[in-house]
Structures are given as C-alpha cells and as structure tokens.
Chain A
C-alpha cells in the first residue's frame, strides 16, 4: 500500500506542525536535565501556545499593519518551507518549489519581516534586536552558502530531494568535504535559529537579546504564531541538516512501511541531534556580539575548506 504524493505532502505538513512544539519541549527538557533543573515536560510548549491563543492582544498605539501582518507571514512562510524539506519521503510534489538556496532565502523573508516588526513600534529594544539580527544573518549567509555549495558538489545538485536521493543511496564513505561542511552547517544553524552561543532564546536581558528583542512587543495570538513558527524553524533546520548530511532512512516513495521506518529514523535523528545541540549550548557561553564575526568567520572557513577538500581530495 502506498500513499499518494499529495498525501505525503499533507502528512509531512501536519507532522511538522504537530511535532515542532514537542521537539522544542524535548530540547528544553534535555537542557533542564543537563543543567540540573526540573523540566516542565515535553508538552509545555503546547500549553504555552494554547494559552497565548486564548489571550487578548495588547497593541502599541502606533503599531502599523506590518506589525500585525508579520506573525501570519512568518507562520505562512515557515509552513511552506515545511512542505519542501523532505522529512520522511522524497516523493514530494512541492519539493521542486525551492532548492536549498531558495529555501535559505525563504527563511530570509521571515527574518526580514521580523526585523521590520521589531522596528515598527519605535522602541530602542526593537531596533537593537533588528540591527543585531541582520548583522548576524549577513555574516552567516556566506558560510551557509559555502556549506550548501559543498554538499551540492557532492550530489551534483542543489535540489534537496535530489541530494537525499543521491546521498541516501550512496554507500557510506567518509568524505572529509562533508565533514567540514557539516561542522560549518551546525555552526551556522545555531546562528540562524538563535541559539547559544549566538543568541539566547531564554533571556530577556537587554544586553544579550537579539531575537527576543525584536518580538518583545508581541502578545496573544501574534506571539503564539511567532513562537510556533520559531519551533518549526528549529525543527526544519534539523531536518535540513538531516536531509543534507545523513539522509539514510528517508523513503523514496509513498510506501507505508518505508514511511513508518522513515518516521522512526527521523524521531531518532531528531532526538540525537537535540542532544548534540544541548551539549553545545550547555558547554558554551553566549558570545559577545562583536566576537560573532570570528565565530561565523570560522564557520565560513570550515565550509570553504570542505569545498577545497572536495576538489583536492575527492
């Protein structure tokens, strides 16, 4: 028995929407465990979102339509991205909508509008957050591209499904280029998703806020949408990493068995990936803003080394 491609598409969409809070909860739980605190439970994000949806909205007097529109757009773009990255199967009709580069740019829209919303109210916090976010993104982008470039060299394509298909069926070899690229990708992904050491999602201290500063003024369902989209984005970056660097297990068609298997391996990989991230976050402290160029520069260097390694060694 096999699922129609649009069925897979829908399944994946629902899966991501539903799974993202749980994944965020899992990360939080792991983090609490690692830091010796009591965890609120994996389901806490669901409760948060529900509570926020139920609340009224408090809006600053001079908030414009940009401020009110942004949460929907952020959510919408992230959802579209969810339909593109192969989570459990490559047989996605919408996967051709965007290759990796276009995908990165899609997240660019999210950032662009979040940053605009940060400046809409006209407080110093919002502007500060936007300014910092855009700087980090600017520096992260070249490294991201180099990492993508290296992977696409290996699979001869920048299309995600194609990458998965090629890499998933190749026999396992240790490729130094991909190792470098993976390291670079992880560093950049931490920056893009606003994690330690680049940003601290849990802080509301003015000196260290980046992303949180931009969305400080949000409340009610707006905040819910943004939070939810943020969780989806985190999950998607993991999925992206998985698709690019360890696609084994992702089904090539809509066969139910393969899909189940793929789902299982996805959960496993996410769980492991979260562990890695939590270890990194626990082990490192948040960097000063002006140390970030060095951090992202190293990521770029690693990615470039990966590319060079591909040409020289492979």
Chain B
C-alpha cells in the first residue's frame, strides 16, 4: 500500500503534467475536455484518499525534493492538518472536475480550451501544494501559483471590462497579502536562531522561540496576508468582484476551496508554529470573524446578482470559520485544551462543509447561468419547472448554508454555538460577558442567511419567469454537471447526518494541535448521538432528525392519500384584477426591502423613484422608474483614499522630473554635496 504522501504527490504530478500537456491535447479536440477533466477528477480523488488516510492514521510524513533554492530544497510534509485540507480541496476538486466536463463545453469554439485546462489544473495543483509545502519558499511559490492561476481564470472572459477590473483588484490584494505572509516568514526565520537557509523550513519555525512582540508581529502579518486571501472584512472587496465574473466552475473552486487555504495558513501559524500566544490574538480573530459574518451576510442580502450574492456569503462563512478559530485560540490561551479542541473542530468542520455546499451552490449558479445566460436574479424565476434536477440540488445547498438540520451547515454551526455556550468556563470575567454577545451575532447571521436563501431560491427557481427571452428555450443541464452537483448534495446530507464519524475521523488534528481529543466525549453514546462535551450538556442526532422527519412525512402522505381527492389546477388567483403578469411578482430587491430599511445605515444605499406622468392624463402616473444602488462602504472608507493617496504621491514624485536638464544636474550636485557634508 503506497504511503499517503506518495498518493498526494501523484495527484500533484498528474495535475502539473496535465497543465504542461494541455497544449498537446489540442489536436484531439473531441476528447480534450472529457479527458483532461476526468484526469483532474482522478487527481482530486487521489488527494482525497491521501488526506483521509493521513488524518485517520494521524501520521506525519515528510520528504524533500531535489529542486528549490540552494540550501533550501522544496520540503514536503503531510500531517493530519494538511491531510484534512487535502480532503477539502480534493472533494470539491472532484465534484467540480466532473461538473466542468459539461460546463466547459459551453465555451467550446469561442475560447481557448487549452488555457482553461492549463490554468484549471495549475490552480488545483497550486492549492494542493500550499498545504503540502513545508518550507517558507515553497509555500509562497505554491501560494502565488494558486493566485496567478486563479487570476488568469478570473480573466478568462477578458474582453469584459468587469473581469479585467476584478482580476486586477484580486491579484493586487492577493499579492500584498502574499508579501505580508512573506514578511511573517521573515520574522519567524529571522528570530528562529537558525543560520542561513535553515531558518526557512517549517521545522525551524516550529522549534523557534520568539519573544512575544516578534511572535505577535509574525502572527498578525501572516493573519493579514491570509485574511486578504480569505476575504475577511475589510479586506474582502476583491471577492464579490472576482468570484462572480469567473467561470462558475472556477468560482466554485475559489469560493469553496481557495479561501480555505488561508484558514489552513492561520491554523498552521497559530497552532503549529507559535503554539503559545495571549488570548487577545484569538479575540482579534473572533472579532474580525464576527464582523465578517454579519456584514458578509448583510451585503449578500442586498445583492441581486446571483454569483455576487454567493460571493458575499463566502465572506460570511469565512467569518463563521474564524469565529471557531478565534474561540479555539482563546480557549487554548487559557489552557482549556478540550474546549479548544471543540472550537477547532467546529471551525474545521465548517471549513469542510462550506467548501462543499458553496461548491454546490456555485455549480448550481453555473448551471442556471449556463441555461439562462443571465446572472441578474431579477430576470429569472420559475426555473424549477425547467430545470427539475438543478432546482432540488440547489435547494440542498440553500438549506445547508442556512444552517438548517439535518444538513451539514447546521452541524458545524451548532458546534460553534456549543463552543460559545462553554465560554463561561473562561477565567476572564470580561470575556465571559462579551463572548455570548458573539453567539447572538452568530444567530443573527444564521437567520439572515436563511432569509437570503429564501430569497435566492424563491426568486430564481420559484414563481414565474421574469426574463425577456422565452422561458421555453431554457433547458436542464447535461449529465456531468448534474453528476457533479448530485455528488456534492449527497455529501452535504451525509456530513449532516453522520457528524460523529467525521469528528472521530478528524480527531487526530485537535489531538496534535490542541492536545485534546474530542471523539471520546463526542461519540460516547455511539455513532447516533453527537455529544461534543458530555451528553448532559448538549446533544444532537442527525440520523434521528432525518429519519424522523422522513418517517412522519411518509406516514402522513400515505394516510392522506388513502382516499383519492381531486387536485384541480387553476390559473393563479388574481384577486379579481385582470392581467396579472409575472412582473408583478415580488423581486429580489423587494424581498430584501424590509431588512434594507432596518439595517440600511450599514450600506451606502441610494434609492430613486421617478414618476413619469401619463401622456394623456398628466394627473395619472404613466410609468414609474425605480433605481437602487447599494455600495460597499468599505470601498469609500478604505480603498478609494488609498488609491487617491498613491496617485497624489505619484504626482508629487513626478515633480522631481521637470524635464529641465539644469534641475537634474542640480540634483546630482546637491546629492554630492549633501553626502559630503553629512557623511564624507
């Protein structure tokens, strides 16, 4: 049986080989797409297998490659934490690869398939390498490979201005983040005491003893970098621009998986490298997590571009993951390993869950886009009749992300709530008072998310078609796309009803990082009951909820169908008015109006109503125009001033160069004299 690291290596090599060979496959155009993406799926599957094996065994394997810097060859290491993220990446990679076979065909003939395959595989390989890397240099190479590949994928439809703008913004923020991570490594390496290149290995960083100031510098530099990638507010502005414009299979990967690599990075830095840290680090993470969660979902509610909305939900979910991480760090700082383990498991579980349901939702959005060619929800409606497969699968995603039992999103959010409920164990009085308020915010987030997805599903799939084109031209998507979504939906359900197994499986991670196991208490009453700390404290049973609901529904249905009753289909009741048109339905903007009114102060909302009088009867309104513009306040608060400042400085710097040669000579002269006076 091959070692797990070998399997992971095989996955990466297969992907890299695909990237290199993609141009050669061009000659066999008919099988280019199926072949490439099937192989991508195989590689993803290999990564999943390697990850599952590693996590289950709790094993650590490392290797060194013969390439890299002199004195610093590329180091690889596969430990349970890395293994877990391999599974996350691999699972979504698998689903999306299958889905892509059908999806990418939609671009056939118009765009370069080679480009898509090449960057797709590089993107996947980059993500796998990020979690496998075991030295600073290799990590950054992989990190930027991932960023660059996804940048080109965001640019795939590069003739559109919004794609170019989004890609640029994305790459810029990602690169600034990468530089911050680089500096964090610099701090770790510089303070580790190791000489030369040895300090850049993760092993040296694990054993480094940093003073508290340097440790904080390292952690927060890294956190900044990772937060920029994860889209934590206020570094999120690129995310709702880039994710919507990318091809949907890429959006699924970006939102579902790429963001998670930064969660990996934060875990690595906090729990693996630094290990001992003050509680306020966790406090900062928790606070930012809460802000991201609440603001993310609120912004999402205001969107009517389907993919943009989903992108904002990624901000929200990253926030939820960070809440778990922050709690875990706080517990760890107060030496409460069991509680830290619970919060960490909650965070990791949500990482996995979000990857899958967000992947599913983006795939669904892609299917809708594929079928209707619009992203604006205001022009959709009633798709459940035209897309009988996509609708229920998308619904599974909606229910999961709304944290409703028995699907997976609920389990991880419930675990996070449990972690919150245990915060009174903290010996810090202020924290005891403040942290429960976080739980309230999390509850708000969950409820708003549900509201948002009622809107999404209701407006997109239910009701009647609102668009301009004929709805008859909309067709269900092909089998591979349905297959990818189906697999993801099944995973959502399984992860929701079998949490005890999952927690038992990933238990090696908290054991290694927090020094405590969860499975002994979590599975004490058997696989059926999830009891995170003790069954007296709290418990949940996914299977019972699922089977219970199923049973009651089935019995009720049967009982009510013993006697045949007639069901008569009639036109929609129009309250006696005539000419009820689909345009009279509630729209996405209308749906979110109450919340917009209540929480509007958080956005820059501009509403305009313009009444054009009737031509014949000026007293009567002829038509009414309603304009709504909602903008992210952070843009004006944080980014626009920075851009302006940069250009201001650039203008001032430009004054140096006036074009007159005398002035230039004077610079030279003055430089010389200044140097001579002060230094010579």
Contact = CB atoms under 8 A, between A and B. Distances in A.
Interface of A: 53, 55-62, 64-66, 72-73, 75-77, 79-80, 83, 94, 96-99, 101-102, 105-106, 108-109, 111-112, 115-116, 118-124, 126-128, 130-132, 134-135, 137-146, 149, 152-153, 156-159, 162, 217, 220-221, 225, 289-290, 293, 300, 304, 307-308, 311
A116 B462 contact: yes
Given A142-B440, A145-B440, A73 B549 contact: yes
Nearest to B546: A80
Contacts of B461: 64
Contact of A121 (B424, B443, B525, B572): B572
B556 interface: yes
Given A97-B544, A109-B405, A127-B591, A120 B462 contact: yes
Contacts of B549: 73, 76-77, 80
A266 to B, nearest CB: 22
B595 A138 contact: yes
B403 interface: yes
- Choose among B391, B418, B444 the residue with the greatest number of A CB atoms under 10 Å from its CB: B444
Contacts of B573: 60, 123, 217
Given A119-B454, A141-B444, A290-B597, 11 more contacts: A59-B570, A76-B550, A99-B539, A105-B414, A108-B404, A109-B404, A109-B405, A135-B598, A146-B436, A225-B556, A311-B433
A102 to B, nearest CB: 5
B94 to A, nearest CB: 29
A57 B631 CA distance: 46
A108 to B, nearest CB: 5
Contacts of B570: 58-61
B598 A139 contact: yes
Given A98-B545, A108-B402, A122-B585, A149 B439 contact: yes
B448 interface: yes
A152 B567 contact: no
Contacts of B566: 56-57
A135 B451 contact: yes
A295 B582 CA distance: 35
Contact of B560 (A53, A62, A97): A53
Contacts of B593: 131
Contacts of A139: 444, 447, 598
Interface string B586-601: 1000111111011000
B600 to A, nearest CB: 11
Q: Top 7 A-B pairs ranked by shortest CB distance?
A: A127-B586, A119-B458, A122-B463, A134-B451, A141-B447, A76-B552, A145-B443
A98 B405 contact: yes
A62 B382 contact: yes
Contacts of B381: 122
Interface string B561-577: 00001111111110000
A60 B572 contact: yes
B450 A137 contact: yes
A121 to B, nearest CB: 6
Nearest to A77: B549
B553 interface: yes
Mostly helix, strand, loop or mixed at chain A's interface? helix
Given A123-B573, A123-B585, A158 B537 contact: yes
Mostly helix, strand, loop or mixed at chain B's interface? helix
Contacts of A75: 552-553, 556
Contacts of B433: 307-308, 311
Contacts of A138: 444, 447-448, 450-451, 595
Contacts of B424: 153, 311
17 contacts: A58-B570, A73-B549, A75-B556, A94-B544, A96-B525, A97-B548, A98-B405, A112-B404, A126-B586, A131-B591, A134-B450, A142-B447, A145-B440, A217-B573, A225-B560, A311-B424, A311-B433
Given A124-B586, A138-B447, A76 B572 contact: no
B440 A146 contact: yes
A131 B459 contact: no
A177 to B, nearest CB: 12
Contacts of B418: 101, 158
A220 B565 CA distance: 9
A131 to B, nearest CB: 5
B80 interface: no
B99 interface: no
B561 to A, nearest CB: 9
Contact of B459 (A98, A119, A159): A119
B444 A156 contact: no
A108 B590 CA distance: 22
A156 B395 CA distance: 36
B385 A62 contact: yes
* Interface size class, chain B: 35 or more
B539 A60 contact: no
Given A66-B462, A138-B448, A300-B440, A56 B529 contact: no
Contacts of A66: 384, 395, 462
Contacts of B582: 122
Contacts of B569: 59-61
A130 B454 contact: yes
Given A75-B553, A221-B560, A105 B598 contact: no
Interface in B442-457: 442-444, 446-448, 450-451, 453-455, 457
Contacts of A220: 565
A30 to B, nearest CB: 30
Contacts of B440: 142-143, 145-146, 149, 300, 304
Given A99-B538, A116-B457, A121-B463, A80 B552 contact: yes
Interface string B145-161: 00000000000000000
B659 interface: no
B11 to A, nearest CB: 37
Contacts of B439: 145-146, 149
Nearest to B586: A127
B435 to A, nearest CB: 10
Given A97-B545, A130-B454, A159 B537 contact: yes
Given A72-B557, A105-B410, A139-B598, A162 B536 contact: yes
A62 B572 contact: yes
A137 B458 CA distance: 17
Contacts of B598: 135, 139, 290, 293
B541 interface: yes
- Choose among A53, A131, A157 the residue with the greatest number of B CB atoms under 10 Å from its CB: A131
Contacts of A72: 553, 556-557
Contact of A141 (B443, B567, B585, B595): B443
Contacts of A115: 454, 458
Given A64-B385, A99-B538, A112-B454, A142 B444 contact: yes
A56 B590 CA distance: 33
Contacts of A116: 454, 457-458, 462
Given A105-B414, A131-B591, A96 B567 contact: no
B61 interface: no
Contacts of A56: 565-568
B610 to A, nearest CB: 22
A96 B447 CA distance: 24
A137 B598 CA distance: 13
Interface in B388-440: 391, 395, 399, 402-405, 410, 414, 417-418, 420-421, 424, 429, 432-433, 436-437, 439-440
